[in-house]
Amino acid sequence: MRFSRALALGASMLALLSACSTGGGSTTIKIGSDGFDEARVMAEVYAQALEANGFTVDRAGIGLGGRKVTTPALESGQIDLKPEYIGSGLAYYDATKTTGDPAANRTALQAILDGKGGGITVLDYTPAQDTNAFVVRKETADQFTLAKLSDLTAVQDQLKWGLATDCPTNPVCAAALKSAYGIAPKDVTLLDACSTPMAQALAAKTVDVAELCSTSPEIIVNGWVRLEDDKATQPADNIAPIVRNDLLAKLDKTKFEKVLNDVSAKIDTATLAELYKEVTVDKKDAKDVAKAWLTANGFVK
Amino acid sequence: MTLVDETLGWLADPTHWQGPGGIPVRLAEHVGLSTASLLIALAIALPAGLWIGHTGRGAAFAVNLANLGRALPTLAVIGLVLPLTASLDPQLGFKVYPTLIAMVVLAVPVVLVNTYAGVAGVDRDLVEAGRGMGMDWRALVGRLEVPVALPVIAGGVRSAAVLVVATATIGAVFGSGGLGRFLVEGIAQNDDGMIFGGVVLVAGLAVLTELGFGAIQRALTPRGTG
């Protein structure tokens, strides 16, 4: 008994050692991400694509938390890389610069990140877009004939609102709703946007309007109605890896960027929604979901 | 220094002391939720603990059940019961009951184990003497075991109360009211003053709870013992 346990320990340590010694030299890429499932599965896709190309990654920062946590972590080098929503990421630094054009958002975000944490690079973004989505149940949409956000203005006080926890101070949330739509809801429950509790609150009728992600699988599964942002207040949120320049200097930059850019190019909105759904609704492990997709698309053998 | 300034500045801002999301309302929600869950926990754990301590029956079962309750993460309890309670009542079932139930699950083991241990620890010679004097079980429990075990029982209630006051903050993740809102919203809104203002309030309330229940416990302890 004792012998076999010692053997197992030895074997696992060997496995650990060999895992450390394979790949692109001694540099470990510390990957981080936001806490919600879509960001976690994207981080896992990056991690496995990099590993398949001989890089060494550390996953400790995956699911770290919101931008309040991940931004200082990236700027200080506690993590080297994270999947970033370029519109919201830009709004975090300067909400006046966000547009509906992802290329312009990327350029503006890059200009800001050049001066952060010794320089941070925005790699290519996905064709996939995920935008903040204001969602109602089908019967609410029917009852008040709702199709777009401006339809909510007149009935805002008859509804209960589920908004993101950072909404009161987020320029593309409360401020945008008020200035573009004249919406300043009274009955508000603050929950994490795109989270399971937010979807549960809408399903349980705790709230009537919920702020989810356009890719949130619960919208399709429950037959909910996403209201059109007819005044175009929400930034275009394509996802791009953002990575510290000091890390890029330590490894084969061309190969590293090609691995991630090739992966990003393959992720369209339907793909992103599917990866997200498999984790959130089908309750699969993000690692398995990422691996299956990477294998199916030839990134991992 | 800036953090202290931000925290004091947030606490001193009069706008934070009014309205539905103000400090007095959040404090009242927090105290209300904590009190309700503690009372429910006492209603369950005190009789059960007394019975087990008095009879000696089911002690192993109770202690194991209590340990299981302690091992359950509070967040997991909330997540588990939320779909059920929310389907019963869309408002309270989402924002209040899950946290309330999780706090009861948290408090019951502490009170139960202390009550059981207090009663079971009463000197058997005393109990035998009581029996010899013709006391029935009601008198044995009410006039002998409970008074002797009271300091230990009160100690359990005190621990449970402090635990609940400190942990009830976690319900804010699921939209529950109380002081936890300042932590959750402060983190999301990048407002250090709000986060640490909330921390100061929760910590202050926990300390007050500890002192208050400590005073009660001392008052219940006969002189010359404990």
- Tens of pLDDT, residue by residue over B109-120, are 999 999 999 999
Is residue A198 located within the same domain as residue A270? Answer: no
Is residue A197 located within the same domain as residue A150? Answer: yes
Q: Which of A227, A252, A282 is the last residue of a domain?
A: A227
Report if residue A54 sits inside a domain: yes
Is residue A276 located within the same domain as residue A152? Answer: no
Report if residue B20 sits inside a domain: no
Report if residue B50 sits inside a domain: yes
| Residues A232-244 as b or e (16 or more Cβ within 10 Å = b) | ebbbbbbbbbbbb
A189 touches chain B (CB under 8 A): yes
Is residue A48 located within the same domain as residue A114? Answer: yes
Residue A11 pLDDT more than 90?
no
A192 touches chain B (CB under 8 A): yes
Report if residue A24 sits inside a domain: yes
Q: Look up residue B128 and give its two tokens.
A: 């035998």
Burial class from Cβ neighbours inside 10 Å (0-12, 13-18, 19+) for residue A13 reads: exposed
Report if residue B65 sits inside a domain: yes
pTM of the complete model? 0.80
Mutate to test the interface with B, among A75, A165, A172 (most CBs of B within 10 A): A165
Mutate to test the interface with B, among A36, A200, A209 (most CBs of B within 10 A): A200
Which residues of chain B have a CB within 8 Å of the CB of A64?
none
pLDDT digits (tens, 9 = 90+) for B27-40: 999 999 999 999 99
B172: domain CATH number is 1.10.3720.10
Is residue A44 located within the same domain as residue A60? Answer: yes
pLDDT digits (tens, 9 = 90+) for B208-226: 999 999 999 898 887 765 4
Q: CA angle, corner A81, sides to A79 and A82, nearest 5?
A: 105
Report if residue A159 sits inside a domain: yes
When divided into structural domains, chain A yields a total of 2
The per-residue pLDDT for B224 is 62
Is residue A123 located within the same domain as residue A243? Answer: yes
Which residues of chain A have a CB within 8 Å of the CB of B83?
200, 204
Report if residue B83 sits inside a domain: yes
Is residue A220 located within the same domain as residue A171? Answer: yes
Is residue A125 located within the same domain as residue A253? Answer: yes
Is residue A123 located within the same domain as residue A262? Answer: yes
Q: Look up residue A187 and give its two tokens.
A: 């009955």
Q: Are A23 and A55 in contact (CB under 8 A)?
A: yes
pLDDT digits (tens, 9 = 90+) for B70-108: 888 998 999 999 999 999 999 999 999 999 999 999 999
Give the range of the structural domain holding residue A152, as residue numbers without chain letter.
Answer: 132-227
Portion 229-288 of A in contact with B at CB < 8 A:
none
Which has the minimum average pLDDT: A19-33, A61-75, B135-149? A19-33
Q: What is the mean pLDDT of chain A?
A: 89
Report if residue B120 sits inside a domain: yes
Q: Look up residue B225 and give its two tokens.
A: 């013992």
Which has the minimum average pLDDT: A44-58, A169-183, B155-169? A169-183
Give the range of the structural domain holding residue B160, as residue numbers without chain letter.
Answer: 26-220
Mutate to test the interface with A, among B78, B92, B176, B187 (most CBs of A within 10 A): B187
Partner-chain contact B189 A190, CB within 8 Å: no
Report if residue B94 sits inside a domain: yes
Residue A245 pLDDT more than 50?
yes
Is residue A221 located within the same domain as residue A143? Answer: yes
The per-residue pLDDT for A136 is 97
B215 touches chain A (CB under 8 A): no
- According to DSSP, the β-strands at A132-136 and A120-122 are unpaired
Partner-chain contact A197 B95, CB within 8 Å: no
Is residue A243 located within the same domain as residue A219? Answer: no
Partner-chain contact B191 A169, CB within 8 Å: yes
The per-residue pLDDT for A69 is 82
Report if residue B12 sits inside a domain: no
Report if residue A12 sits inside a domain: no
Contacts of B157 (CB under 8 A, 6+ apart): B38, B42, B111, B114, B213, B217
A213: domain CATH number is 3.40.190.120
Which residues of chain B have a CB within 8 Å of the CB of A66?
187-188
Q: What is the mean pLDDT of chain B?
A: 91
Which residues of chain A have a CB within 8 Å of the CB of B190?
67-68, 166, 169
A23: domain CATH number is 3.40.190.10
Portion 121-140 of A in contact with B at CB < 8 A:
none
Which residues of chain A have a CB within 8 Å of the CB of B88?
none
Rounded to whole angstroms, the Cα distance separating B167 from B180 reads 9
Report if residue A5 sits inside a domain: no
Residues in a beta bridge with A163? A190
**Residue A211 phi, psi dihedral angles, 5° rounding:** -90, 110
Is residue A51 located within the same domain as residue A89? Answer: yes
Rounded to whole angstroms, the Cα distance separating A111 from B65 reads 58
Report if residue A301 sits inside a domain: no
Report if residue A13 sits inside a domain: no
Nearest CA among A208, A219, A193, A100 for reference residue A146: A208
From the list B94, B184, B188, which residue is nearest A206 (CB)? B94
Report if residue A3 sits inside a domain: no
pLDDT digits (tens, 9 = 90+) for A218-241: 998 999 999 999 998 888 789 999
- What count of residues does chain B have? 226
Alpha-carbon torsion, ordered B48, B52, B53, B56, to 10 deg: 180
Nearest residue on chain A to B79, alpha-carbon basis: A197
Report if residue B13 sits inside a domain: no
Chain B nearest C-alpha distance from A204 (Å): 6
The per-residue pLDDT for B1 is 56
Mean pLDDT of A179-204: 92
When divided into structural domains, chain B yields a total of 1
